[in-house]
Amino acid sequence: MASSTLKHEVHLSKDLESTCDYSLMVTGVTGNGKSAFCNFLSCSKTAFETGCGFASITDKSAAAIITMQGIRLKLIDTPGFCDDYNDEDEHMKEFGESLVLASKGVNAISLVISVKSRYTTNEKTTIDKLSQFQELWPFMFIIFTHANCLGASEEDQKKTLQSNFEAERCPAALNDLMQKVSNRYILVESIKPSGDPEAYYQTKTKELHDMITTIHKAANYQLYSNELFNSTKELLDKLAKENTEAKNQLQMKKSETEENIKKRLEEEKVLEQAKQTAQTSVEKQIELEKTQDEKRQLLLDQEKEQLFQKENEKEKAKQERDEVYREKERLEKELAEKQKIKQEAIEALKKQLKEEGEKQEMLKDKAEESKEKSSKKWYRFLFKKPTSA
């Protein structure tokens, strides 16, 4: 953040019961510079605990009242999301408890994001968690820290930031976030800015003052309170509980249905095996049992995976069995036709042999007749009387 060595005096009060004009909650992912930003506003290095390293420094909410731009602002620093110490439910609980420090509620909530690092799954997880509280977004704006990474001047920084939003590879979730907060944001540098630190402080606190008053006016001068947060959280918890119960009931029903399907398939298997015992061919019976077992197992797997399509699967199984029966009938019919053709061929052969036999008999009779005629002719020749000279 900018240097805290400023020329003017900043009034910092830990008396949280004191009257203040506005209240601001600062939240975001661990390590993005929330506490450092709060110290920048309070012109102090120790008002809010900060540090370097991988571990989260702020583990409990802290608050102070500062005088800024002629107003008294209650500043609330919250533990970072996605740290190593608490799960996200604990973070949301601490987020709600932080609102208690604002008494009746806060005028605005700032989400701190660092531009020196990529938009990570931690940011996305935080946004997804906060997105459950739709009524929160009208009170929220973005503080982009380490803005000096974007350019030397604020004009260059804004141009670079806008070009990043318009880039093809810009995460869609980041653009969605900007739409949810109505494109409200403030850029803050992480090192001593060029020029007068006092002027830079006055510029940024003026931007912050205008941002808070604009949000407060747009919200019809309403505050985002702990009661509003808790009522929404209770509703979300109730819905989550009902959803869990519904899933458990659905799982029980699914298990019961699968058990019934398995029992029905077992009964069908027994019935099918009883039908198969009537087959006369052992090899055909074994092959058919193997085929039917595979089909039944396939049907069981399909019905487990497609629970809501069991009637269609049953019809499919029936069609498959009918196909087996039709194939059997076709084979039997084909066999009967072959037997018929074979029988006709045998009959034709018998007829042909009979005709050949009759033909041989006729030829034999003719040969006998011819032989007899020849014998008679020879006999007459031998005994023929000679004619007189």
Structural domain spans, the chain: 12-224, 251-328
- If one counts every other C-beta atom within 10 angstroms of the C-beta of residue 228, the result is 18
pLDDT digits (tens, 9 = 90+) for 207-239: 999 999 999 999 898 887 766 555 545 544 554
* Strand-strand pairing, 62-68 and 12-13: antiparallel
Under-70 pLDDT residues of the chain:
1-18, 44-59, 80-100, 102-103, 120, 191-195, 226-247, 278-279, 281, 383-389
Angle at 174 between CA 168 and CA 175, to 5 degrees: 65
| Rounded distance between C-alpha atoms, residue 141 and residue 112, angstroms | 9
Q: Give the CATH architecture of domain 12-224.
A: 3-Layer(aba) Sandwich (3.40)
**What pLDDT is stored for residue 7 in this prediction?**
47
Handedness of CA 304, 307, 309, 315 (dihedral sign): positive
**What pLDDT is stored for residue 94 in this prediction?**
66
Give Cα separations from 19 to 23, 67, 215, 262 (angstroms): 10, 12, 20, 71
pLDDT digits (tens, 9 = 90+) for 133-152: 778 888 989 999 888 888 88
- If one counts every other C-beta atom within 10 angstroms of the C-beta of residue 319, the result is 10
**What pLDDT is stored for residue 4 in this prediction?**
44
| Rounded distance between C-alpha atoms, residue 226 and residue 229, angstroms | 5
| Rounded distance between C-alpha atoms, residue 64 and residue 74, angstroms | 6
Chain centroid to CA 32: 30
**What pLDDT is stored for residue 56 in this prediction?**
42
**Phi, psi for 316 (deg, rounded to 5):** -65, -40
Handedness of CA 323, 326, 332, 335 (dihedral sign): negative
